Amino acid sequence: MKTAAASLFVQITSNFPRSLGAAIGFILVSFWLLMAIIGPLISPYDANAFVSYDVFGPMSAEFLLGSDYLGRDILSRILHGTPYTIGVALIATVSACVAGVVSGLIAAANSGWIDATISRTQDALISIPSKMFALIMVASFGSSVPLLIVTAAIAYMPGSFRIARSLAVNVMTLDFIQVARLRGESTPYIIFREVLPNMFRPVLTDFGLRFVFIVLLLSSMSFLGLGIQPPEADWGSLVRENILALGEGAPAVIAPAVAIATLTIGVNLLIDSLGVKPDQDKGH
């Protein structure tokens, strides 16, 4: 009895950090996703309304996170910026992962010149640093939301492709794939009905990582003044426009930075909870 109880206690305590991290990650991500939907609707003031005569005013009952360099409410600015930060990054991540996974599956299923052509094209794209590529695109075409989405999707598609192709090549060697080929199943059937479901978990983990990378890329572009343009703002631009008053108006800088940090930490905690299967947690 004591042995069984001790074994159960060890199992619970060994899984506790992972389950606690997953719960915290789920709460953080769910909160910011909800704010991306309803944030502008529940903000105390309009994002561009001059509501305080004190620039970089302190936190108070009226302005929970203080005011910025023009006397605008920081909380309202953050809530109005959440759809831009999360929405643009989410659309770009979905685009990058869908394009990368589909091209990776096609390359893995078709050896020869098709695989070589797709792989060399992706290798050429991945050799360009993401920030340099984004700077070139913005300098060439100007900054806009559609351009930022396309730029981020192209920059992070090759990484998704390489992971998807590597996973698909391994799955393609398994016996049930050979059985499907012998049954005369078509290539699209094998790709989407046999291969893709068996690599869904690592692809989902990679999706979370791509999302974090794209959030940081877009925030850094906005910090440089090349992302979301005024009068609209995302979290990165909120840090940039108030950075000179870090000493006297710290909440105006720290609050959007904390928003970025909590979002990325929440996503990473969720990724960690997906990274190991339950039977691996138990030592099998």
Residue 270 lies in a domain: yes
CB atoms near residue 42 (< 10 Å)? 10
CA–CA gap between residue 284 and residue 274 (Å, rounded): 17
Tally of structural domains, the chain: 1
Residue 54 lies in a domain: no
Residue 133 lies in a domain: yes
Residue 171 lies in a domain: yes
Residues of the chain with pLDDT under 50: 1-2, 4-5, 7-14, 276-284
CA–CA gap between residue 12 and residue 16 (Å, rounded): 6
Nearest of 150, 144, 281, 121 to residue 226 by alpha carbon: 144
- Whats the size of the chain, residue-wise? 284
Residue 17 lies in a domain: no
CB atoms near residue 170 (< 10 Å)? 13
Residue 162 lies in a domain: yes
Residue 50 lies in a domain: no
* Predicted local confidence at residue 275, as pLDDT: 56
Do 39 and 79 form a contact (C-beta atoms < 8 A)?
yes
Q: Which domain holds residue 218?
A: 62-275
* Predicted local confidence at residue 92, as pLDDT: 96
Residue 185 lies in a domain: yes
Residue 271 contacts by C-beta under 8 Å, 6 or more apart in sequence? 25, 205, 208, 209
Token duo for residue 160: 């998704």
Tell me the per-residue pLDDT of 133-188, one tens digit each, with 9 for 90 and over. Answer: 999 999 899 889 999 999 999 999 999 999 999 998 888 888 888 888 888 777 78
CATH number, domain at 248? 1.10.3720.10
CA angle 43, 250, 247 (to 5 degrees): 155
Tell me the per-residue pLDDT of 130-147, one tens digit each, with 9 for 90 and over. Answer: 989 999 999 899 889 999
